[in-house]
Chain A
Amino acid sequence: MPTFVYMTRCDGCGECVDICPSDIMHIDKKLRRAYNIEPNMCWECYSCVKACPHQAIDVRGYADFAPLGHSVRVIRDEEKGTIAWRIKFRNGKKDMELLAPITTKPWGSATPKLADEPPPSKEMRDSELLFNEPKYIRMDEGGLHTLKSNGLEIKEGVQY
């Protein structure tokens, strides 16, 4: 179900307009508040829902994780580096919370400094390998990482 904006919470800051990958979040020309101009083109990617500083945008979640009439709300806290979700069923009895990291290092501190890298040689340009392969996929440390190489094993059934 596409995004919708609570007009009373929106202050027309433009964060959703900026982030929407489909370019369908825009500012209403009369009310100066954000709205979804083309709901049937919405992927429900939740980018605007997470980016909104006033939690003014909502999306109804899919019926496969919560029956209709529920509420799915989110707070993306950049400074803490976490995202918190709350899914409340329409009867109010099932009230679930989730907290997950969205970064483990301060923002921007792990961006590769490509400008400092030496330019690729002719041999590297002609190779099938991409930038910094195999180093970045860590094949040079003894092959691809697998469940087995990491001492893990797959369990039967659906895992949550």
Chain B
Amino acid sequence: MLTSNPFAALSEVISPAMMQGYIVLMVLLVMGGTILDMMHKKSAQYFFENAKKAKKSAKRSVGAGEKASIAASVLVNEVLTSGEFSNPRRRLSHLLTMYGFIIFAVTTAIMIFGYPTPATPTPALLPQLWHIGALMLAVGGYWFWLFIRVDVSAEGLPWFRFERADLFILSLLATSTFALIWSFTGGGLTIFFALFILASTLLFGGVYWSKFAHMFFKPAAAHQKKITMADGSRENLPPDYDLTDPEVQRKFPDIPMYMGKNPPNMGLCIKAERPNHY
């Protein structure tokens, strides 16, 4: 079951061209939804205006080489390892969901386009990855939905309460769950397949109302944030002081007077606990 391509078996009932057409349609829906979302929220406009404002208070100019190294660090820290999350649980859950989704979506596309019928045998690795991806997506997603979500963890609301804003995570969870159930119950044209397709259509078709588009603008925002740190404008934030620097100690004599010339790491205070004291 884990090594067989469920879409190849399905090709006896639904033609591969139809399945491929569905994938193309979903890609178009994501693109259209993202563009509409950007136009509606004016996020791109805000982003560029903000960048222009930050440039005005810059203390130095950032060269092309430095910009490229910042882009590389955004790719490694923010995009590939979700470093923007300060909460390790959220980071882990996001990584599971993100990589699960990527593996699941990519293997689905490869299996449908590359190995659409039983006549072209699918390498065992692909269906295995497809199942692992769906499972990662489900584990990360349910962990988030039931325990980590801020409504539950900080606001104390019950896990079953949902809003339109939850369209993304719920359709994502439904897609992975019904995909797994559909595969484990033998595939074919069943009710689980209908639910799987319904959930995935909702996921990709609901981009305009969901937060799916965050995968495009979040890296851009992280890059801009790092640029402001590099050019000295720092969004008007104070500098990151080195307490052992004699110049800092001369400027702020309270530091050596009360903390000594080489203050120890003080550890964590309120950040040592999770924010769930509602």
Contacts and interface: CB of A to CB of B under 8 A. Distances in A.
Contact of B271 (A78, A84, A88, A104): A78
Contacts of B265: 79-80, 106
Interface string B198-233: 000000000000000000000001000000000000
A18 to B, nearest CB: 4
Interface residues on B, range: 35 or more
Given A73-B235, A108-B267, A14 B241 contact: no
Interface string B230-254: 0000011111110100001001101
B87 interface: yes
A92 B164 CA distance: 42
B interface secondary structure, majority: loop
Interface string A14-36: 11011100000011011110000
A88 B234 CA distance: 12
A32 B268 contact: no
A29 B278 contact: no
Given A55-B237, A82-B243, A17 B266 contact: no
Interface residues of A, number: 44
A2 interface: no
Nearest to B84: A11
A21 to B, nearest CB: 12
A81 interface: yes
A59 interface: no
Nearest to A70: B236
B89 to A, nearest CB: 11
A104 B87 CA distance: 26
A70 B151 CA distance: 33
A8 B46 contact: yes
A107 B273 CA distance: 13
A18, A73, A100 interface centre (most CB from chain B within 10 Å): A18
A11 B237 CA distance: 18
Given A14-B153, A17-B154, A80-B243, A55 B163 contact: no
A76 B155 CA distance: 24
B150 A92 contact: no
Nearest to A12: B150
A55 B238 CA distance: 11
Nearest to A100: B254
A108 B271 CA distance: 13
Contacts of B163: 29-30
Contact of B266 (A75, A81, A92): A81
A101 B258 contact: yes
A78 B267 contact: yes
Given A19-B270, A81-B263, A99 B252 contact: yes
A9 B259 CA distance: 32
Given A8-B221, A30-B165, A106-B266, A88 B151 contact: no
B238 A80 contact: no
Contacts of B264: 106
A53 B150 CA distance: 15
B85 A11 contact: yes
A74 interface: yes
Contact of A31 (B84, B165, B278): B165
Contacts of B275: 13-15, 17-19
Contacts of B61: none
B69 interface: no
A86 B154 contact: no
A54 B222 CA distance: 12
Contacts of A132: none
Contacts of B254: 99-101
Given A85-B238, A92-B57, 9 more contacts: A14-B276, A19-B270, A30-B163, A53-B86, A81-B259, A82-B259, A103-B269, A106-B265, A107-B267
